[in-house]
Each structure stands twice: as structure tokens, then as C-alpha cells.
Amino acid sequence: MTKNQALEILFEKIESLHAIRSSMAIIHWDAATSGVPEKSLPSRGKTMSWLSGEQFKRFISKETLEAVETLQGFDNELSDLEKAMIREIGREYKKQQSVPLEELQKYRALVTQSESIWEKARENNDFEMMLPYYEQIFDYQRRLCDWYGFTNHPYDALLDDYEKGANVEMLDRFFKAVGENISPIIKDIIKNNIQPQEVSGSFDIAKQRELIPWLTDFIGYDRSRGKVGEVEHPFCTSVSINDVRITTKYHQDNLLSALYSIIHESGHAIYEQNMDEQLQKYNLCDCASMGMHESQSRFYENIIGRNPAFAAILLPKLQEKFDYFTGWNEDMLYRAINIAKPSLIRIEADELTYSLHILIRYELEKALISGETKVKDLPELWADKYEEVLGIRPKTYAEGVLQDVHWSCGYVGYFPSYAVGTAYGVQMLNTISKTIDINKAIGDCDISPITNWLKENIHRPGATLLPDDLLKQATQESFNPIYYVNYLKDKFTKLYLN
């Protein structure tokens, strides 16, 4: 096989795999946003199972392996994009070929049904409804660790799926630093009993929806290449760089929830929309890692969306829609969008305590995968962890173990990416601030200088670099959580303890 023949084989496979992934993304979007018939669950499960099988068979073939091995012999003649393509395909091939096809198809059918069952279980506060699904999902994930292989902890195999290069040793250090530095601040805030005015009341959902076009335009989400849907658990999905869809959930009694989920998901979408389109040919039009993806959503949500300059431009928009904000000033709103206190729901958590919610999930997943914990014991263990770490205890499954959609989708190992990604974003902020006045850009209602930096340094490279290499190229430094710890200390000490 010649070099050109090998390249052509891979390019053809990438094109067909992209078509399959796009189809699966649309099916998932439809199921999540359209209220599909309950009786369609089995047939949709079969469809997703078949598509997963086709994806697997087209990728895991003798032809793919021969093409990769051929090109590895031409390393000196390959372009940087071709080398990155071979690295990523080789990495993924090694993992996927270890998984029995029939197991993958059964699992895909399972999680297709599981997500819909989760919505009902959460609504009905019924953990027993989800228990058999969770047991099967975690059983599969434990076997997946064995199929993939690992050196130290089995959880390492799953973590690497979402955050390339991450492992338990690295994350134990990270979460130890987070816990040791954040917990004292929270205790001091509680001790001082400082309580800014919260945004509370009843806010017409139709008027909330009217704010979304302005908000997405300000953030930079291109709605001509996207769509905003409504779901139980907000998410972003990418069909292609010209079809990136986001969602939110409106609450009449929680105005800020929908607004900040839109900012968060827009951050995800902007990353997808700003990737270099030519990378699709090389299967590199993808995030460097889920942590890098979360760095963008959390950057827009917190660093931009919870900035005092943003509070100043958001307030008049809220006052136009809701009489509730008559008499409010910018400082009141800034403090309201930065309230720091222990809470039960991760997606509603404040910036200071958010990573503690992730720490809890990390510890539980690690124990479930190692076999130290059984799925049936999750509700009690979850409640115990919240009481231990945040000093509060859920009273229902819906505000406890059933609050997140991730496990029902089979995303085991994903949660740590939220916290690591948040820290990535603050490290980027440290670099951006050296050349760009963040507050001025937000106050001028033109954050394009910030987005342009992110576009050139984080978005456009896609998956051409591993996450730590990308961060090092962008910030001139490998991952360093000290920026995140110092950022939180500085911001919340000024807000609450000075």
C-alpha cells in the first residue's frame, strides 16, 4: 500500500464516520427536545445500536489498521495535520478494537433508552426506576476499563476518554488543592453571615425567552449556524461546524438559571463554530479534550458572565422586561450573580463551590469503578458526601443522585473535566489579561478581542494537539491549578471578606 492510497482510505473512512456521528447527533437532539413518543424508545434504541455498529465496523477494520501502519512508515513525509490524524486514529483504534462489537451495540441500545427513563425517574423522584440501568451501565464501564487496559487505577482508562492524559494521581492532587483552598473561604463566608440580595420571585417565561437573542448575540453564538432548544438538562450538540445547537431550561422561579445555561452552552458552541473547517477532512475538527471544551463554556459563563462589567449591561435588559429590578443598581446585581453558598444542584452552583460538586462525583465514580461502592448504595453515599463536603443533605433523589443526566448517557469519567476545564479557563484568563482589558471589552459590549484570542489559540487548532500541549502553546505553561485557586481566593475574598 502506498502513502497516497493509505491516506485516501483514511479520508474516506473519516467522511463516512462523520455522516454516522451527525445522524446520531440529530437523533439525540430530536429525542431530547421534541417530546418523541414513548413507544418509539425501542425502535430508536435499535437504530442507534445499528449506527454504532456501522461506525464500529467501518473504523475497526483490517484496512484501517493497514493504512495507519503504512503511514507510520512515512512519518518524515507527512504534514503536521496528517501526523495528528494518525496519532488520534491510532489512539482511538487501539481502544475501540478492544471492545466486542456485540457488547457495544447492546450498550448503545441501553443508554438510548436509559436517558429517557432518567427523565421520568427524576420527575417522579424514583431511584428504583433507574437502578437497573445504572447497574448495567457501571458494569459495562468496569469491563470497558479491562478491555482498554490500565496501569494503576481502572478509572484512569475512562478518564483518558474525556481528558487525554488525565489519571487518578493527577486528579487526586488537583481536587486536594481545590478542597483545601476553597473550603476555608466557604466556612468564613458562612461564619460572617454575609447575604447579598438574591434574584427571587416569579419571572414570566415568555419574557425570559425574549432575552435570548440579545444574550447569544452578545456572547457571539452564531444562530444562523445553530438553534436554541428547550430540554430537561441543558446541553450543546454539534452536527457540523455549521450546525451547532444549544439548549436551556426555563424556570419561572429562577430567572438566572436559563440565562447562565445559555451563556454556558454558547461557550461550547462558539468553540465548535470557530474550529478550522479543513480539520474535518483529517478527523481533527473536534475538541482537544472535554476539559478544554468545558474551559470555554465556563470561561464565558463565569469570567465574562459574572464580571461586574457584564452586570452593568445586563441590568438595563432585565429592567426592560421585569419590574422586579426597579431600584436595583449594578453592584446589587453583580453580588446577586456571584452569591456563594453551599447548594445541592450542580448546574445551579455558584462559581466558588462548583468544583466541590465535581469533587463529590469524582470520588463516587472512582469508588464505583474500583468496586468499593455498589450502585444500590449511591443515594445514601451521595447524601453523605454532600453533608461532609458542603454541609447540606438532599431530601429527594431529584436534588441528589438523580440530578445529572451523565450516567444515564454512559458518560462515566466526564465529570472531572468540568473542574479541570474551569481551571484551564482561568489560566487562559491570566494570559489574555496581559494584552486585553477584559472589563473594558465587556463594558463596550464587544468581547470580540477576547473571542478572537480564544479562536486563534484554542478553537481553530481543534484536536491537532493534546490538551496540555495546547494549553502550553497558548499560555507558555503546562497546566497549573494555582491560577484557579488564586482567582477564587481573590474574587470571593473581595466580595465577602473585606
Q: How far apart are CA 36 and CA 26, in angstroms?
A: 13
Q: In what order do the strands lie in the sheet with 236-240?
A: 226-230, 243-248, 236-240
Asked if 422 and 132 touch (Cβ cutoff 8 Å), the reply is: no
Residue 328 near residue 457, CB atoms below 8 Å: no
Rounded to an integer, what distance in angstroms lies between the CA atom of residue 186 and that of residue 179? 10
- What integer pLDDT is reported at residue 183 of this predicted model? 87
CA distances (Å), 236 to each of 96, 362, 407, in order? Answer: 25, 22, 17
Residue 52: pLDDT band with limits 50, 70, 90: confident
Give the span between the Cα atoms of 405 and 418, in whole angstroms: 14
For residue range 190-199, list pLDDT tens digits in order.
888 777 789 9
- This prediction has a pTM of 0.91
Q: Which residue has the cell 518524515?
A: 76
Give per-residue pLDDT as tens, 126-178.
999 999 999 999 999 999 999 999 999 999 999 999 999 999 999 999 999 99
Quickly state the pLDDT bin for 34 (edges 50, 70, 90).
Answer: confident
DSSP class of residue 197 equals P
How many residues does the structure list for the chain? 498
Which tens digits make up the pLDDT trace of 436-488? 999 999 999 999 999 999 999 999 999 999 999 999 999 999 999 999 999 99
| Greatest Cα-to-Cα distance within the chain, rounded to the nearest angstrom | 74
Q: How far apart are the first and last CA of the chain?
A: 69
pLDDT band per the 50, 70, 90 thresholds, residue 233:
confident
- Phi-psi domain of 274 (left: phi exceeds 0; alpha: psi -120 through 50; beta: other): alpha
C-alpha cell at position 439: 472589563
The cell for 191 is 461564619
Is the pLDDT at 359 greater than 90, yes or no?
yes
Catalytic residue of the set 88, 163, 265, 365: 265
Separation of alpha carbons 265 and 248, rounded Å: 8
Q: What is the pLDDT of residue 442?
A: 98
Q: How far apart are CA 243 and CA 225, in angstroms?
A: 5
Q: Is 163 a catalytic residue?
A: no
Q: Write down the domain spans for the chain.
A: 3-124, 168-496
CATH entry 1.10.1370.30 includes domain 168-496:
yes
Alpha carbons 11 and 281: distance in angstroms, whole number = 6
Q: Which of 107-111, 218-222, 423-427 bottoms out in mean pLDDT, i.e. has the lowest?
A: 107-111
Q: Tell me the average pLDDT across 203-208.
A: 97
Count of helices and strands (H, E) across the chain: 21, 3
Residues 295-324 pLDDT 10s: 999 999 999 999 999 999 999 999 999 999
